[in-house]
Amino acid sequence: MNTPNLGYRAGTGAQTGAVFDEGLRQHMLRVYNYMGLGLVVTGLIAFLVSSTPALYVPIFSSPLKYVVMLAPLAFVLLFSFKMQTMSAASAQAMFWAFCAVMGLSLASVFLVFTGTSIARTFFIAATMFGATSLYGYTTRRDLTQFSSFLIMGLIGVVIASIVNIFLGSTALQFAISVIGIAVFIGLTAWDTQTIKEQYAENFDAESRQKLAVFGAFSLYLNFVNIFQLLLNFTGERE
């Protein structure tokens, strides 16, 4: 008499698992779509500004360039402090604004490096990012054990980068690039695993939307930083 009941429960469990897996797949797809569209927005604005002297001359020939360079950091801090209280719509609007501001900041890349080297570096960064993110999604190893090391490394890279804006040291920039690439590769795997584990089927639509935006924001930052740091090795100057 217990057999039908056991079979029913097993079937329900399998069905629930399938529904959860499909929901998780859709969630991760939403995260990567946001990230990809964010990169498109950033790339278009960077190219537009760099190809328009009326835009880039006033920015990069005056102290305004420091504002443009540091503005993305202000967005990162705002995201961090307002994450819990922000609505999904506000988070999405701020994400697009951040991508646009990052485009202004990255316009200098198109002014300094050749288009061929930018495209080559983007492909290398995309390959590294994709492989690392896939590892973070599929591994059964708990990557949180590396979180303290990665966060300390990130803080060190950010502080050193800000200091080097004023120092302009080639040796320090080389060290920042080497350490930074390793840190952001590690963060990509950890963030991907965290995004996956944060997903819950019983979250409402608002919560899932916020999770997707914040997840895309984290992965976007990792990718952009890997790309910028790689340019110091593979970029060819105009």
CA count, 13 A, side-chain hemisphere, 135: 15
pLDDT: which is higher, 43 or 61:
43
Mean pLDDT of 190-197: 92
pLDDT score of 7 more than 50: no
pLDDT > 80? residue 230: yes
Q: What is the residue-wise DSSP string for the chain? A: -HHHHHHHHHHHHHHHHHHHHHHHHHHHHHHHHHHHHHHHHHHHHHHHHHT-HHHHHHHHTSTHHHHHHHHHHHHHHHHHHHTTT--HHHHHHHHHHHHHHHHHHHHHHHHHB-HHHHHHHHHHHHHHHHHHHHHHHH--S-GGGGHHHHHHHHHHHHHHHHHHHHH--HHHHHHHHHHHHHHHHHHHHHHHHHHHHH--TTS-HHHHHHHHHHHHHHHHHHHHHHHHHHHHHH--B-
- Who's near 236: CB < 8 A, 6+ residues apart? 113, 114, 116, 117
User: What percent of the chain shows pLDDT beyond 90?
Assistant: 37
- The whole-number average pLDDT for the span 121-127 is 94
Query: Residue 202: what pLDDT?
Result: 60
* Mean pLDDT value across residues 30-48: 94
Q: Which residues of 173-206 are buried (b: 16+ CB within 10 A; e: fewer)?
A: beebbebbbebbbbbbbbbbbbbbeebeeeeeee
| Chain segment 132-153, per-residue pLDDT in tens | 999 999 998 988 888 888 889 8
Mean pLDDT of 60-86: 77
Give the per-residue pLDDT at 4: 41
> Would you state the pLDDT for residue 90?
87
Predicted TM-score (pTM) of this structure: 0.85
